Amino acid sequence: MSTAETPTGTLDPIPDLIKETLKKLDIRSEQIRFAVQSDVNSTGNYGEEWFVLTDAAIFTVTGKGEVLHYIPYKSVLGIRPEIVVDAGLLVLETEDGTVDLIRYSSGCASKFGFVARFIGDEIEFRKGKRDEAPIWDYKPEEQFCQSCGLLLPDEFSPCPACTKKHKIMLRILSYIRPYRGRAILFMLFVIAGTVISLVPPYFSRILIDDILLLNDAPTAAQEASATQLGSIFRAIQPAALALSIAVGALLAIQIIREIFTVFRLRLGAWLTFRVAANIRSHVYQHLHNLSIRFFDKRKTGTVISHITEDSERLQDFMLEGLSFLAVELLLFFGIGGMLFWMNWQLACFILIPIPIIVFGAGWFWKKVRSLWHRAWRRRSKLFDVVNDSVSGIRVVRAFGQQRSEVNRFADANIDARDYETNAELIWATYYPPLMFAVQLGSLIVWYAGGLNIIAGSMTLGTLMAFNAYLMMFYEPLRYISPLINWASRSMTAAERLFEVIDSQPE
């Protein structure tokens, strides 16, 4: 097999640990054509991994010396880097299918892009489609972060490792500052609506114990659980009048809660669309201040997707997700307090499924966020293919390349479909066990509470009110999986938007 002459370790010096790992595979240092260090590991976090090329094979090795991939070089049919604003992925086309080989930050994009071009040209030369062997002419243009020392994505962008991911939401909320008065009013509506939502289950307890089941000889549990408001309803005669007053009060509470909900939703929509419009405007204005070199390094479709699709994803989450999150968080803590106030022993049982849900949510967030990053890269590539084809349609037709462009779009479309499907499959796998954990807590409460009723230490009204609160308590946990899925998409979109905004103009 003909190969170009390539000095050993041209891109990155090979550490002794990696040499020892390769030595165990009977690969001597002189057999290594070159090695390239990545600063992102296979899980998507910052870490050390290595790409190693010999005449016989391509390897990827972790910083600890674990071999991740071994691919015979002769089986490689093609190679391509997939680069977006903040990350990249080196993809191999082999006889056995597509392999996502190694990930890297945008700071390593230039050297991995060169590796892809060099190997791609060498494959063409090997197939006889290229007259001359490729020339090794890599000239690094590296800029390092002054804080952490990692390579910067390019001369325009900030260091992704130093960007605090948990501050993305705070940065989004900073766009609300011009509308702080309405934002405060929005939060007041949220708090008021939450407090009102806590009243109906409490009234149901009074309705059952102090009206419907009241008799001439109240049980010890009824007497022990009697409240001042319950005593007032007990004194109202006949019982039908007390029932009418209680149901009327519940109706009034529901009407007031819906009025607050209407105002909250209207105000939330007003704020959301203005914040999203301000972010879009900021991105668009900043793009006009960037140099031509910035656009030379990015596909037009990718830039367009930032302004349109990314901002739309973020807007949808702010309109529905943030409002839902604010309401459910307040309800979660408010209802938790009510449950422990009503019966702290029984409330302890509801905590049993919580660790399963919390740890599962943490795993799910980490997994799905990485998957959606990769899916967004495929979606950006799809935008690039469409933009290139439509903007150059005259050239495509002039050279009769319609079928080639259709095939190129089909490949990108299938690639995007597969990665988005994988992300959704993770959600579909995680959601049913979460629902089982929620139902398990409810069953435990029914059993323990039923035993208390049989023993005479709890009333039926207390148990019914407790279960009503329990369903409200578990409601945020019930939707934590789709909310995380939704939030991960939106935070990915926000990161992409802020990467453009943070790019430094010349």
Query: Is the predicted pLDDT of residue 295 greater than 50, yes or no?
Result: yes
Determine the pLDDT at residue 484.
62
Total structural domains in the chain? 2
Query: Is the predicted pLDDT of residue 7 greater than 50, yes or no?
Result: no
Quick one: tokens of 346? 């029984």
- Please state, for a pLDDT cut of 90, what percent of the chain lies above it: 1
Domain check: are 216 and 68 in the same one? no
> Among 285-299, 341-355, 396-410, whose mean pLDDT is lowest?
285-299
**Does 497 map to a domain?**
yes
- Please state, for a pLDDT cut of 70, what percent of the chain lies above it: 75
**Does 398 map to a domain?**
no
Domain check: are 212 and 240 in the same one? yes
**Does 407 map to a domain?**
no
Of 22-31, 53-62, 79-88, 434-443, give the range with the top mean pLDDT. 53-62
Determine the pLDDT at residue 495.
73
Name the pLDDT band for 148 (thresholds 50, 70, 90): low
Determine if residue 149 is left, alpha or beta; phi over 0 gives left, psi from -120 to 50 gives alpha, anything else beta. Answer: left
Quick one: tokens of 119? 């190997």
Task: Please name every residue paired with 35 in a beta bridge, in sequence order, or none if there are none.
Answer: 52
Determine the pLDDT at residue 136.
62
- Asked which of 163, 198, 222 is the last residue of a domain, the reply is 163
Query: Is the predicted pLDDT of residue 276 greater than 60, yes or no?
Result: yes
Domain check: are 52 and 182 in the same one? no
Higher-confidence residue of 391 and 251: namely 251
Query: Is the predicted pLDDT of residue 1 greater than 50, yes or no?
Result: no
Determine the pLDDT at residue 367.
67
- Asked which of 107, 141, 163 is the last residue of a domain, the reply is 163
For the chain, the first-to-last Cα distance in angstroms comes to 46
Domain check: are 101 and 171 in the same one? no
> Among 84-98, 212-226, 400-414, whose mean pLDDT is lowest?
212-226
Determine the pLDDT at residue 390.
77
**Does 444 map to a domain?**
yes
Q: Read off the pLDDT of each residue in 30-45 and give the average, rounded to a whole number.
A: 79
- Asked which of 142, 163, 184 is the last residue of a domain, the reply is 163
Query: Is the predicted pLDDT of residue 460 greater than 60, yes or no?
Result: yes
Domain check: are 156 and 214 in the same one? no
Domain check: are 104 and 170 in the same one? no
Average pLDDT, the chain: 75
> Among 151-165, 335-349, 350-364, whose mean pLDDT is lowest?
151-165
Higher-confidence residue of 303 and 171: namely 171
Instruction: Round to whole Å and give the CA distance between 139 and 130.
Output: 23
Whole-Å CA distances, 188 to 5, 55, 193: 70, 68, 8
Q: Read off the pLDDT of each residue in 197-215 and give the average, rounded to a whole number.
A: 78
Determine the pLDDT at residue 318.
73
Query: Is the predicted pLDDT of residue 398 greater than 70, yes or no?
Result: yes
Backbone phi and psi for residue 52, each to the nearest 5 degrees, phi listed first: -125, 135
CATH number reported for the structural domain that contains residue 294 in this entry: 1.20.1560.10
Please name the amino acid found at residue 266. Answer: R
Determine the pLDDT at residue 414.
86
Higher-confidence residue of 489 and 26: namely 26
Query: Is the predicted pLDDT of residue 481 greater than 70, yes or no?
Result: no
Determine the pLDDT at residue 259.
92
Domain check: are 5 and 84 in the same one? yes
Among the listed residues 241, 255, 123, the one whose alpha carbon sits nearest the alpha carbon of residue 200: 255
Name the pLDDT band for 4 (thresholds 50, 70, 90): very low
Name the pLDDT band for 300 (thresholds 50, 70, 90): low
According to DSSP, the β-strands at 97-105 and 87-94 are antiparallel
**Does 342 map to a domain?**
yes
**Does 418 map to a domain?**
no
Query: Is the predicted pLDDT of residue 186 greater than 80, yes or no?
Result: yes
Please name the amino acid found at residue 402. Answer: Q
Q: 49 with 42: CB under 8 angstroms?
A: yes
Which structural domain range is residue 41 located in? 1-163
**Does 52 map to a domain?**
yes
CATH number reported for the structural domain that contains residue 138 in this entry: 2.30.29.30
**Does 396 map to a domain?**
no
Compute the half-sphere exposure of residue 72: CA atoms within 13 Å on the CB side of its CA: 5
Instruction: Round to whole Å and give the CA distance between 127 and 132.
Output: 12
Among the listed residues 206, 497, 452, 472, the one whose alpha carbon sits nearest the alpha carbon of residue 345: 452
Name the pLDDT band for 8 (thresholds 50, 70, 90): very low
Give the model confidence (pLDDT) of 212-264 as tens digits. 776 544 554 454 455 677 777 777 778 788 888 888 888 998 899 899 889 98
Domain check: are 181 and 112 in the same one? no
Name the pLDDT band for 156 (thresholds 50, 70, 90): very low
Largest CA distance in the chain: 104
Domain check: are 495 and 427 in the same one? yes
Domain check: are 63 and 132 in the same one? yes
pTM over 0.95: no
Query: Is the predicted pLDDT of residue 126 greater than 50, yes or no?
Result: yes
Determine the pLDDT at residue 362.
66
Q: Read off the pLDDT of each residue in 428-449 and give the average, rounded to a whole number.
A: 78
Q: Read off the pLDDT of each residue in 177-194 and give the average, rounded to a whole number.
A: 87
Higher-confidence residue of 7 and 322: namely 322
Domain check: are 333 and 441 in the same one? yes
Domain check: are 205 and 98 in the same one? no
Name the pLDDT band for 6 (thresholds 50, 70, 90): very low
